[in-house]
Amino acid sequence: MSTLYVDNLQPNLGSQVEIPDLKPLAGAVVQVVQGTYNTQISTTSTSYVTSNLAATITPTSSNSKVLIRVNTCAYAPTAVYNRMTIYRGSTDLATGIGGYTDSFQALNIGATSWIPTNIEWLDSPSTTSATTYTMYYRAASSTVYMHNGFTISTITLMEIAQ
């Protein structure tokens, strides 16, 4: 093994070294953004309404993917379905995926306590513009509740290099 000792480094004044534009390795996390919400809300709507849980990310490359992670909780005093999905802007990401029609999560609630629920999805937004992801929810019938007000619901967005 050799050791190199240097007392002083001087640039070569006759040339300039260009540093190449380094790109992250495929699979590397480029950036992480998180949104939070902690106020209880409810709906009787059978059409999707916003849960107010959202975050915005601006991908650095149009080839990047965005990993979306939602952690929240739901409740309904009667046995009704609470369906949850993620929108990218005005597009429901669950529509038509895997033969399902409109949700990443469906809970048949009729419990006496709040049910923790998580959604995780890898999206390909194909843009370098600011992109907002929002969790939406709806009821099949009766009233369903989101975000119990005692804990913090989160949506975490991770840009993944390709």
Greater confidence (28 vs 140) lies with 28
pLDDT of residue 3: 80
Give the whole-angstrom CA distance, residue 71 versus residue 115.
11
For residue range 101-128, what is the model confidence (pLDDT) as tens digits? Answer: 678 888 887 767 888 999 999 999 999 9
**What confidence category does residue 14 fall into, taking pLDDT thresholds of 50, 70 and 90?**
low
- Domains of the chain as residue ranges with CATH: 29-160 (2.60.120.1340)
b or e along 39-50 (b: 16 or more beta carbons within 10 Å of the residue's beta carbon)? eebebeeeebbe
Supply the pTM of this predicted model. 0.84
CA distance 101 to 117: 19
CB 56 within 8 A of CB 132: yes
Q: Amino acid letter at 29?
A: V
pLDDT(9) > 70: no
Q: Mean pLDDT score of the chain, rounded to an integer?
A: 89
Q: What is the pLDDT of residue 51?
A: 97
Q: Which of 118, 117, 149, 137 is nearest to 48 (CA)?
A: 137
For 159, half-sphere exposure in the C-beta direction (CA atoms, 13 angstrom radius) is 25
Predicted pLDDT at 15: 65
> Is 143 a residue whose pLDDT tops 80?
yes
Residue 95 has pLDDT above 90, yes or no: no
Closest of 155, 115, 144, 153 to residue 39, by C-alpha = 153
Q: Can you point out the beta strands (E) in the chain?
A: 29-37, 41-43, 49-57, 65-75, 80-88, 91-92, 105-109, 115-123, 131-139, 144-146, 153-160
- Residue 38 DSSP SS3: coil
